[in-house]
Structure 1
Amino acid sequence: MAKITAGVATSHVPAIGAAIDLSKTEQPYWQPVFKGYEYVKAWIKEQKPDVIFLVYNDHATAFDMNMIPTFAIGCAPEFKPADEGWGARPVPTVKGHPQLAAHITQSLIQDNFDLTIINKMDVDHGLTVPLSLVFGQVEEWPCLIIPFAVNVVLYPPPSGQRCYDLGKALRKAIESFPEDLKVQVWGTGGMSHQLQGARAGLINKAFDNDFLDRIIDKADELAQVPHINYVREAGSEGIELVMWLIMRGALNDEVELKHRFYHVPASNTAVGHLVLENKPS
């Protein structure tokens, strides 16, 4: 049977992707950011996952204000890097796992989570930047990837509790798949940031670090935090953090913290990163 072995959480700042693509990772401004990902780059080589279920949000690339599904799962054999206005990132095409994606879709829908099934979709920096941070610049991504897009752009986004519960249903779905696979679940986005208005540039280190503390072993409490708290404390884009709760819900109740990283700033945001391994249930 398929088995979830670990979870990864990371910000997906677009400027980080540009720094990688333009060979700026050794510049003094960017060095501290990329130093925080040295651990995960070595760790992933030892883990060798077969599939990554990657939770992210689209940034008006595959979807726009005319149509944004709350939860959308990529069921295609491949997903090309999106052109976000300045050409597609020079990264490999994402190879999917349609059989596992279809199995997850069936299971989640039967567990009363309504999903939008996507059979053709380009993927933007929300998905490709985390892959670049963990795998580096490669000819091909070393494993298959199932994109899972969450609406955290247009009101109303899903609640933290809904995301956490979806993660638990995702665990059930993956672990009932009959093929022997090592699966990781990644939650991306955040941390505190606001891109517009009078509070543009907002960063709340206290909120971010409290979130990093609580998602490890108090995620059930964290899931109950209402949207207004994210907006008030972490900025309008801080709501992206609910996607981390899908990752945490998919893991066992007890996890081992392998790595934690927090840095300010990268562009105009805070960067957060966790590596969690499942303890036996």
Structure 2
Amino acid sequence: MAKITAGLGTSHIPLLGRIIDTGDSDKPEWAPVFKGFEFTKEWVETQQPDVVILIYNDHATSFDMCFIPTFAIGCGEEFQPADEGYGARPVPTVQGSPKLAWHLAESLILQGFDMTIVNEMDVDHGLTVPLSMVFGEVEEWPCQVIPLAVNTVVYPSPTGERCLALGRAIRKAVEKFPEHLNVQVWGTGGMSHQLLGERAGLINQTWDKAFMDSLRLDYERLSAISQVEYIRESGTEGCEMVMWLIMRGALNQSVNEVHRHYHVPVSNTALGHIIYENVTNENGEDQVL
């Protein structure tokens, strides 16, 4: 059967994609950001995932005020990088995993999640920047990717409890897929930032680091954080961190944190990055979260 072996959380700051595309990642002002992903690039090469279920939010690229799905899963064969107003990023086309994606859609809906099934959509920086940060500049992405978009842009967003539960449901679905696949779940977005309004530029390092400290063991408490509290403590865009809870919910109860990186500022945002590997008990069995 397919198996989720690891989870990864990371910010998806659009400026990072621009820096990579212009070849400026070695400049002194940006080098510390990218240095924190050197371990990740080596790690993912040893892990060799077959499929990444990538949790992100669309930034009014494929979904806008005309159509706002709470949870949308990409079931197509491929997904093109989006033109977000200044041309599409020069990155590879994202190759989907339609058999697993349709299996996930069916299982999640039968588990009570009203997924929006999307067969054609372009994917924006929320998805392509994490791929670039982890895999680097490549001619093609080395694994298949299932985009799973979460509405964190238009109120109301799904609660942390619902996102944690979705992660658990994803795990159940993956483990019922009959093909042998090494699957990773990536939760993207955040950390604290506010792009508009009187508090534009807000960064709350204390909040961000506490969130990362708690994610491994105290995820139930994090899942109870309201959207109002996210906004108050981490800015209007800070609620993107609920997508990290989907990743955490898809993993074992026991995980090893193998890497962490935090850097501020990046543009007007905080960057967070974490990697978990699943741990089994003494009998070699998974400990379900």
Q: Tell me the amino acid that sits aligned with residue 224 of structure 2.
A: Q
Using the alignment, how far apart are the partners of 1:277 and 1:33 within structure 2? Answer: 23
1:237 match:
237
Q: Tell me the amino acid that sits aligned with residue 195 of structure 1.
A: L
- 1:87 is aligned to 2:126: no
2:53 match:
53
Cα deviation code 1:38-61 (max 9, x no counterpart): 110000000000000000000010
Using the alignment, how far apart are the partners of 1:253 and 1:223 within structure 2? Answer: 15
- 1:153 is aligned to 2:153: yes
> Which residues of structure 1 form unaligned runs of 5+?
none
Q: Tell me the amino acid that sits aligned with residue 274 of structure 2.
A: L
Using the alignment, how far apart are the partners of 1:220 and 1:170 within structure 2? Answer: 17
- 1:164 is aligned to 2:164: yes
Count of aligned pairs between the two proteins: 281
Cα deviation code 1:97-146 (max 9, x no counterpart): 10000000110000000000000000000000000000000000000000
2:103 match:
103
1:213 match:
213
2:273 match:
273
Q: Tell me the amino acid that sits aligned with residue 245 of structure 1.
A: L
Q: Tell me the amino acid that sits aligned with residue 83 of structure 1.
A: D
Q: CA deviation at 1:200?
A: 0.2
- 1:17 is aligned to 2:27: no
Using the alignment, how far apart are the partners of 2:262 and 2:209 within structure 1? Answer: 8
Using the alignment, how far apart are the partners of 1:265 and 1:152 within structure 2? Answer: 22
Cα deviation code 1:73-100 (max 9, x no counterpart): 0000000000000000000000001000
Q: CA deviation at 1:225?
A: 1.1
Identity of aligned residues (%): 62
Using the alignment, how far apart are the partners of 1:153 and 1:76 within structure 2? Answer: 24
Q: Within 5 Å, which residues of 2 pair with 1:58-207?
A: 58-207=58-207
Q: Tell me the amino acid that sits aligned with residue 13 of structure 1.
A: I
Aligned-residue CA RMSD in angstroms?
0.5
2:41 match:
41
The residue matched to 2:261 in structure 1 has which SS?
strand
Using the alignment, how far apart are the partners of 2:100 and 2:163 within structure 1? Answer: 20
Using the alignment, how far apart are the partners of 2:249 and 2:224 within structure 1? Answer: 13
Q: CA deviation at 1:66?
A: 1.4
1:27 match:
27
Q: CA deviation at 1:228?
A: 1.0
Using the alignment, how far apart are the partners of 1:221 and 1:265 within structure 2? Answer: 27
Using the alignment, how far apart are the partners of 1:29 and 1:175 within structure 2? Answer: 43
Using the alignment, how far apart are the partners of 1:32 and 1:269 within structure 2? Answer: 15
2:283 match:
none
Using the alignment, how far apart are the partners of 1:197 and 1:222 within structure 2? Answer: 26
Q: CA deviation at 1:65?
A: 1.2
Q: Tell me the amino acid that sits aligned with residue 143 of structure 2.
A: C
Q: Tell me the amino acid that sits aligned with residue 9 of structure 1.
A: G
Q: CA deviation at 1:29?
A: 1.1
Cα deviation code 1:171-207 (max 9, x no counterpart): 0000110000000000000000000000000000000
Using the alignment, how far apart are the partners of 1:33 and 1:267 within structure 2? Answer: 11
Hey, which bits of structure 1, 4+ residues long, moved more than 6 A?
none
The residue matched to 1:231 in structure 2 has which SS?
helix
1:263 match:
263
